[in-house]
Amino acid sequence: MKIGDLAAKTGVAPRLLRYYEEVGILHPFRSANGYRSYGEPAIERVLQIRELLESGFTTEMIREVLPCLDDPRPAECVVKVDLEALRRQLGNVERRIDVLQRNRDAIKTYLQIWEESPGVTSDS
């Protein structure tokens, strides 16, 4: 699968797919002509990257969190997992969930107040 195909299937611009490779969170191989070549798993991978980026993770954090789930990274990497970083990021994720749940509840409560008292919405 070439970069344009992956872009089409994920909705992520080729420019970004190259960027993700540059920062080390996506690892296509190269075909003879030098074109990047992606496997099927890359689709899921890219979507996960987008989710994490939109959740406020940096590419650096993502690099720690997606260690050996790489497509063309064979078993040697299985050894280089940084457990410490992974635990740190787990704490990170859990704190974020906490924050978001608190804010979700706050917004919900706020909305309920307005929905219960019918009347003014966004006037003028």
Partner DNA sequence: ATTGACCTTCACATTAATGGAAAGGTTTAG
Partner DNA sequence: CTAAACCTTTCCATTAATGTGAAGGTCAAT
Among 13, 69, 81, 107, binds DNA (CB under 7 A): 13
Closer to DNA by CB, 21 or 70: give it.
21
Q: How many CA atoms lie within 13 A of 56 on its CB side?
A: 8
Nearest residue (CB) to its own copies, 46 versus 65: 65
Are the C-beta atoms of 26 and 50 separated by less than 8 Å? no
77 binds, among its own copies, DNA, none (CB under 5 to 8 A by kind): none
Verify binding: residue 14, DNA, rule CB under 7 A.
Answer: yes
Chain residues 40-99 in contact with DNA, contact rule CB under 7 A: 53, 58-60
Q: Which does 36 bind (CB under 5 to 8 A by kind): its own copies, DNA, none?
A: DNA
Residues that bind its own copies (CB under 8 A): 48, 51-57, 65, 79-84, 86-87, 89-90, 93-94, 96-97, 99-101, 103-104, 107-108, 110-111, 114, 120-123
Helices (H), the chain: 3-10, 14-22, 41-54, 59-65, 83-116
Long-range CB pairs of 88-92 (<8 Å, 24+ gap) are 88/64, 89/61, 89/64, 89/65, 92/61
Segment holding 37, helix H or strand E? strand 36-37
